[in-house]
Copies of this chain bind each other. A is one copy, B any other.
Amino acid sequence: MNKVNLAEKFSLFNEHWQPKIVGQLNGQQIKLAKLKGEFVWHSHENEDEFFMVIKGHLTIKLKNETIELDEGEFYIVPKGVEHLPIADEEAHIMMFEPKDTLNTGDVSSNRTVTELEIL
């Protein structure tokens, strides 16, 4: 494989809430996404999910807590925990999670993306 430059990969797409696969290893995937606005409440029955902010600011609402992430910060949402990502302004994030993790987890919505593009 070639090395991956995050800024270059982010320059290749503009859609919000549509994760792109930029790396695969050990049954896991590295994904990038641009987020803006409010997503949908959901959880992942079997997958912990890593969110790291590369640019901007991300709010992750949990049922009893709100996590505020700035650039250079990450949070791992444990499996089974309901969460709602919110980005008031456009945020660029990197995710690590098992291959085939659905972006909306246990919720089927018009936000669900089943075929992820590989960049």
Q: Which residues of A contact B (CB under 8 A)?
A: 1, 3-7, 23-26, 28, 30, 47-50, 54, 67-70, 72-76, 78, 96-98
Contact = CB atoms under 8 A, between A and B. Distances in A.
Contacts of A7: 72
A28 B68 CA distance: 24
B72 A3 contact: no
Give the oligomeric copy count.
Answer: 2
A26 B28 contact: yes
Q: Is the interface of A mostly helix, strand, loop or mixed?
A: strand
A26 B47 contact: yes
Given A26-B28, A28-B28, A78 B48 contact: no
A110 B47 CA distance: 36
B6 A75 contact: no
B25 A76 contact: yes
Given A3-B75, A7-B72, 19 more contacts: A1-B75, A1-B78, A3-B67, A3-B69, A3-B74, A5-B73, A6-B73, A6-B74, A23-B50, A23-B74, A24-B76, A25-B50, A25-B78, A25-B96, A26-B28, A26-B47, A26-B98, A30-B74, A54-B72
